[in-house]
Amino acid sequence: MYKTVNSIQQFDFQINRVLTYGEKACDEDQVISALANVKNIDEWYEAWLSLANDAINSNEHMHAAYYYRMAEFFLKHDDSRKEDVFRKCLNEFNLGFAQNDISFERFAIPYEKGYMKCFRMEADNSKETILVCGGYDSFIEEFVLQVNDFVKRGFSIILFEGPGQGECIDQGIYFTDAFHKAASKVIDFFDLKTCAFVGISWGGYFALESAANEARINKVVAYDVLDNGLEVMTNVYPSPIKQIIRTLIKGKHEKAINFLCSRIGKKSVIADWMLAQGMYITGSSTPYEMYQKLGKHNLNGQYQNIRQDVLLLAGEKDHYVPRVQFERCRSSIHNAHTLTTRLFTESEGGHQHCQIGNHTIATTYIMSWIDSNIRTDSRQ
């Protein structure tokens, strides 16, 4: 279950991103003890770095990987520490996968001026191939533990990094609202006739947008629902600030937006990081430019093109994605082959974004849903 460890909400959520995987990813008692009282990003970095070093000394490479991931998480892309910790993180993941007998094939799928990194995990007597991608701040190694459960259940997994994610950013391949172009390249590369698509976090938008434009996707899971990027990126602000920023964006008041975001960044290190990360993954030079690009991540005009079996998930107290997006998608997708929706509650421990704290409640539901649609889908 989700645990309140730190009084700073963003810190607390990221801590729970590690805790949710249990002893495979961390020593819970050590993490809670080390992170309970950190108050700023430097303390955050030092605490996780110390945990990573201890984990390596204890030959716990998967633990070290997740600890390094958290150490680098809030560092800006131009921080001299970030690249070194990121490389250590990937190395520890690779050692951890070997230590835990988790195997997969690696691919570099040609895309635009570079490639998309991809892992394929084949199940014996595979029932279905599932594309999986992350969202706003992810790289694929951190999802391997989670999707390995799908492989054990008989699903083959193609886990990939699209524009704006992982190694794509280093190649200048930035976040895009037209994510279906990347998904179609993956489908082409593996010569798939049909597949399911599970999008995690902002990937919920990517999956739904891809489904609206790629007929070879026959099942789509928004884990969780996201249909309006601008709403999400302004939802993190207190209500008065949120409304002011949305009004200024709507009015295209570029100078006012950039000035206000600069002031906000100086008062909040978390907001400063969020803005810097958003500009980095979208290839933007100003907050205004970033908001203009993220504003295109919107399903308006595309709901009617989603004709697959659709599963929409949400947490009732998601602090990133407004609940109205779940309700809007549920009422706007009219042409789906089937439409299933699931709002997870606090009483069952699934109330947070992507059901962090009890993520298996979502993944178990997804696997059962895909299973049931394989059995009943006459198009297979």
DSSP class per residue in 155-172: EEEEEE--TTSHHHHHTT
Does residue 310 form part of some domain? Answer: yes
CB 58, CB 23: distance < 8 Å:
no
Does residue 1 form part of some domain? Answer: no
pLDDT at 372: 92
pLDDT at 222: 98
How far is the C-alpha of 299 from the C-alpha of 7, rounded, in Å?
35
How far is the C-alpha of 100 from the C-alpha of 245, rounded, in Å?
47
CATH number of the domain that residue 330 is part of: 3.40.50.1820
What residues in the chain have per-residue pLDDT under 70?
375-380
The closest of 218, 179, 215, 211 to 333, measured between CA atoms, is 211
Residues 310, 202 within the same domain: yes
Domain boundary among 247, 271, 294: 294
DSSP class per residue in 287-336: HHHHHHHHTT-B-TTTGGG--SEEEEEEETT-SSS-HHHHHHHHHH--S-
In sequence order, what are the beta bridge partners of 108?
Answer: 117
The closest of 112, 94, 115 to 103, measured between CA atoms, is 94
Residues 320, 199 within the same domain: yes
Does residue 3 form part of some domain? Answer: no
pLDDT at 379: 42
Residues 109, 209 within the same domain: yes
And the tokens for 76? Answer: 């800006």
| Residue 185 lies in domain | 105-228+297-376
Domain count, the chain: 3
What rounded mean pLDDT belongs to the chain?
94
Residues 223, 356 within the same domain: yes
Residues 93, 192 within the same domain: no
Residues 221, 128 within the same domain: yes
Residues 154, 223 within the same domain: yes
The closest of 217, 213, 203, 187 to 133, measured between CA atoms, is 203
Q: State how far the alpha carbon of 284 is from the alpha carbons of 130, 253, 334, in Å.
A: 32, 17, 35
pLDDT at 174: 96
Q: What is the pTM of this model?
A: 0.94
Does residue 222 form part of some domain? Answer: yes
Residues 50, 121 within the same domain: no
Residues 177, 285 within the same domain: no
Does residue 2 form part of some domain? Answer: no
Task: Provide Rg for the chain, Cα atoms.
Answer: 20
CB 282, CB 294: distance < 8 Å:
yes
Does residue 188 form part of some domain? Answer: yes
CB atoms inside a 10 Å sphere around CB 177: 17
Residues 150, 244 within the same domain: no
Does residue 246 form part of some domain? Answer: yes
Domain boundary among 243, 263, 294: 294
Residues 220, 309 within the same domain: yes
CATH number of the domain that residue 83 is part of: 1.20.1440
Residues 22, 170 within the same domain: no
CB 71, CB 105: distance < 8 Å:
no
Domain boundary among 99, 114, 145: 99
CB 281, CB 175: distance < 8 Å:
yes
Which DSSP helix (H) or strand (E) runs through 198?
strand 195-200
